[in-house]
Structure 1
Amino acid sequence: MRLYLLALNPTDSVTEGFLPAAARLGLEVTLLTDRPDAHREAAPDVEVLECDVRDFRAVITRISTHHVPDAVFTNSDHLQTQAALAADYFGLPAKDWRATLRVKDKAQMRRHLAAGGLDAVWSTELPPGQDPAGLTGLDVPYPCVVKPREGVASEDVVLVDGPAELVLRCKDIQARRPGAALVVEEYLAGDLRSLETLGDGRIRHVLGGFRTRLSPPPYFIEERCTFVAAHPEAVTEQVLAQLDALGVGFGICHTEFVVDGDGRARIIEVNYRAIGDQADLMLGQLLDIPLFEHVLRTHLGDPLPEDLGARTDGVALVDNPCAKSAGTLTAAPEAADLVVDGVELTYRPLRAVGERHELYHTNRDFIGALRALGRNTDQETVDRVVADFLAAQRWEITP
């Protein structure tokens, strides 16, 4: 059976998660990408073909002139609609392209939820090239959030306190993204959480979720994600009802939300793919299930089991040390796999010593990823072991 996997830049989710899972399932994989050299280096044993994967027509043509597909899949935020349309063209199991488009477009997601009476968030769009000064004539609730309408990973997402800053921030983002539409919306206060779900269109499993520690405002860098086996039932039901309204229920999904003082769950964004930033790798290990295989099987048309058989005795988190300044990384710890007081630690560097980077105020500032997992232990123990490990490491950035 042949799997076509659409990708942009290489990610750990694909290289360490989905490609090994495909090999374990015995699938022939063809990876379509606009960055073939990077993927050939990351996955030298996989067939890689160059393709304009942002254009669903190019994807369909590339597949049509190659081998017959059994599944078309992507874990990229940017390519969900293209993969859904291509899979549907070939009569294969797929996400509803309307749903993928609906959640990728943050303004459309807001309109759809409001029209369904589920949640109304004040928001407005700033089309590409439009002068943001016009926003000062609107009744904008401050503080507010500015972000690209179709952005990901906290890229160019910023908290704004007043009209002058709003105009300044919009112009700054427009200078970097001249073709991007922006969204200005009310700031949804509360602790950031996530819900991880996996469905086949017939049954949907809740895999748990995370509580996320963010960097100080005005930016929204996700510095630490701590696993939560189950959010309060009323909260989970609210999030699932909003996902139903959006048409989200096939494959894996990572939904970010906050809970306000009245117990109302308010969606920040829906990422119709696995959580990423190595938290998905940890999630499969924590639950002790073939998570990536389950995801691929849904796209092959196989039903999910009624019971995934997930373990419930684990405590886990992912911590991402971040660069605090621009410059060259001149000292950093190497990869490590340790067991300390019963806690499994997996550290992976995300930048090589000698690399120079600007300060992005996004997840691109991550310089490492530390996964911590404990069985039959408590959160305090895991937190302590993580704190001790991080305190013993040294990262140096030279301007």
Structure 2
Amino acid sequence: MRLYVTALNPTDSVTNGFLPAASALGCEVTLLTDQPERHTGVETIRTDVRDPRALIDTIARHHRPDAVFSNSDHIQPETALAAGYFGLPTKDWRACLTTKNKALMRQALAAAGVETVRSARIAPGEPVPADLPFPVVVKPREGVASEDVVLARDGAELEEIVAAVRSRRPGATLVAEEYLEGPLRTLETLGDGRTLHVVGGFRTTLGPLPYFVEERLDWDPVADEHVLRALSAIGVRFGACHTEYVVTERGPRIVEVNYRLIGDSCDFLTAELLGVPLFEWILRVHLGEPVPEPPAASGHGAAVSLVAERSGVIKRAPGDVAETADGVRLRHRPLRSVGEEVELTHTNRDYLGLLTAVGPDEAAVDRAVAAFRARSPWVVE
């Protein structure tokens, strides 16, 4: 079987998740990317992956595909169009485009009568809207990783934030939408075009406002019917999807839909908690197989992002750790190295390391996480 994977920069999910899963399934893998020099250990072809015509041309000149797949936020529509050209199982490219474009997502949910969240699209050069219900959240229309996502409490702050983001992202379209107050959760789903299965979910802890940096996710799956209706309205029925939503006083409201597998080590954590080859399951869907019924998880798991609290130079850092103590399996993966300079961005780019823990219950996981952080701190001076 020939599997084409489209990618931009290397990610842990692809390098250590999907590529080994493809090998386990007996697939011959070709990775299509605009950065082949950054990907090792796999056949690569330099391709303009943001152009579906280039993807189709590259594949047609190489080998007949059995699946074309991407886990990238940025190139889902292009990959779906390429897979569709060859008649392969794939996501609806329109759903891929709608989920990525936060303004289109809001329009689709409102048009379907699922929910209405007040939102304004701010194109380059357009004035800042004056009739928004403060506080509002400003974000890039196609943004990721909490980059340039900021809370504005009044019109003056909104003007200031928009000007600052435009200076960093000239030509980018922004959205400003009403602030959704309440617990933040995720829903993880996997569909085969016939059935959309709930795989799991997390309870999310954010850092202090006005920014929205995810600091911890605790396993806490809730098969929320409102979220499932929203996904159906958008057209999410196939493949892995990571949805973030807030439980407000008015009920659940969607924050964003990421039409790919959850990241930041939560993908590996989900597979471990369920005890299933999750990455293989996702690839099997793209090879035309149905999704098995996901089992219930045993125990508790948490993913903790170790976030820099100040700018400076990393003086001390824990290494790559995998250990089991008091019934808790703990793994730390460093993202930075001693001697690196850190400049705070108030985004997920401030992560120093990722810590995951799986144990019999939440209290045991909490103790293990606290003990690790006490004995193995990141020191930035």
TM-score (norm 2): 0.98
Counterpart of 2:98, as a letter, is: R
The alignment covers a number of residue pairs equal to 381
Counterpart of 2:369, as a letter, is: V
1:243 to 204, 220, 231: 231
1:284 alignment partner in structure 2: 271
1:135 equivalent in alignment to 2:128? yes
Q: Give unpaired runs (5+ residues) of structure 1.
A: none
Q: Deviations over 1:224-280 (max 9, x none)?
A: 00001x32x5xx111101100010010111000011124x11000000001100100
Matches of 1:6 and 1:357 in 2, distance apart?
30
Matches of 1:93 and 1:127 in 2, distance apart?
35
1:392 to 348, 365, 375: 375
Matches of 2:158 and 2:20 in 1, distance apart?
45
CA contact (8 A) 1:214 1:222 kept: yes
Q: Give unpaired runs (5+ residues) of structure 2.
A: none
Q: Deviations over 1:62-119 (max 9, x none)?
A: 1111111111100001011011000001111100001000110000000111011111
CA contact (8 A) 2:200 2:270 kept: no
2:315 alignment partner in structure 1: 330
SS in 1 for 2:228: helix
CA-atom RMSD, angstroms? 1.2
CA contact (8 A) 1:81 1:97 kept: yes
Matches of 2:107 and 2:364 in 1, distance apart?
44
Matches of 2:297 and 2:107 in 1, distance apart?
37
CA contact (8 A) 1:287 1:314 kept: no
2:260 to 273, 285, 302: 273
1:39 alignment partner in structure 2: 39
CA contact (8 A) 2:311 2:344 kept: yes
SS in 2 for 1:254: strand
1:383 alignment partner in structure 2: 366
Q: Report the CA distance between 1:354 and its aligned residue.
A: 2.2
CA contact (8 A) 1:288 1:311 kept: no
SS in 2 for 1:49: strand
SS in 1 for 2:307: coil
Matches of 1:94 and 1:208 in 2, distance apart?
22
| Aligned 1:143-292 pairs, distance under 5 A | 143-228=135-220, 230-231=221-222, 236-262=224-250, 264-292=251-279
1:26 alignment partner in structure 2: 26
2:284 alignment partner in structure 1: 297
Matches of 1:311 and 1:190 in 2, distance apart?
26
1:88 equivalent in alignment to 2:84? yes
Q: Report the CA distance between 1:327 and its aligned residue.
A: 2.8
Name the % identity. 56
Q: Report the CA distance between 1:328 and its aligned residue.
A: 2.5
CA contact (8 A) 2:191 2:197 kept: yes
Q: Report the CA distance between 1:356 and its aligned residue.
A: 2.2
Question: Structure 1 stretches (4+) deviating beyond 3 angstroms?
Answer: none
Matches of 1:142 and 1:166 in 2, distance apart?
9
Counterpart of 2:332, as a letter, is: Y
Counterpart of 1:4, as a letter, is: Y
CA contact (8 A) 1:252 1:295 kept: yes
**Bigger shift: residues 286-295 or 382-391:** 382-391
TM-score (norm 1): 0.93
Matches of 2:117 and 2:83 in 1, distance apart?
33
Matches of 2:338 and 2:57 in 1, distance apart?
41
Q: Report the CA distance between 1:311 and its aligned residue.
A: 4.4
Counterpart of 2:245, as a letter, is: F
Matches of 2:72 and 2:214 in 1, distance apart?
18
Q: Deviations over 1:183-214 (max 9, x none)?
A: 01101111110000011011221112000000
